[in-house]
């Protein structure tokens, strides 16, 4: 793992988050949901890459979070997974739903995902 590779993942993750918020404002809810998923996935991969030198090749946020949780003595990650499992699975589903399925995301739904992702971001940044 190079620090350059990790930094690219981090920068790309935050670009997806900024883009998700911009797309939400433009009422492009499907693409906003997809960008939220990409932020979550890439920021978790970044954290794992920094801590271990690698990360699992998966789109599962829950699996990535559980892997990260194994690397810390803090219990808040496992508690977060348990308490936010519905949001996590919704965001995981956005990877496929927003890209391949005839699924239309609603404004309120994506608004809630953005609020969730800010809680997620606060937790992950401090791991």
**CATH homologous superfamily of 3-125:** Nucleotidyltransferases  domain 2 (1.20.120.330)
pLDDT at res. 98:
83
C-alpha dist (Å) from residue 65 to 7, 43, 106, 113? 19, 10, 26, 17
Q: For residue 15, name the pLDDT band (cuts at 50, 70, 90).
A: very high
Distance CA 81, CA 51 (A): 20
Distance CA 14, CA 125 (A): 12
* Residue 25 pLDDT exceeds 80: yes
* Residue 1 pLDDT exceeds 70: no
Model confidence pLDDT, tens digit, residues 56-72: 999 899 999 999 999 99
Q: For residue 100, name the pLDDT band (cuts at 50, 70, 90).
A: confident
Average pLDDT over every residue of 79-103: 93
Please state the separation of Cα 74 from the chain's center in Å: 20
**Could you give the percent of the chain with pLDDT greater than 70?**
99
* Residue 50 pLDDT exceeds 80: yes
Residue-averaged pLDDT of the chain: 95
């Amino acid at each position: 793992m190079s620090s350059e590779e990790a930094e690219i993942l981090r920068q790309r993750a935050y670009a997806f988050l900024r883009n998700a918020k911009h797309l939400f404002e433009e009422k492009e809810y499907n693409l906003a949901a997809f960008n939220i998923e990409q932020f979550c996935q890439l920021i978790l991969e970044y954290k794992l890459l920094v801590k271990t030198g690698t990360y699992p090749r998966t789109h599962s946020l829950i699996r990535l979070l559980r892997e990260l949780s194994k690397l810390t003595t803090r219990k808040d990650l496992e508690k977060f997974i348990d308490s936010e499992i519905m949001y996590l699975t919704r965001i995981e589903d956005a990877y496929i739903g927003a890209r391949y399925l005839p699924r239309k995301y609603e404004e309120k739904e994506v608004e809630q995902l953005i609020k969730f992702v800010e809680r997620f971001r606060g937790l992950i940044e401090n791991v």
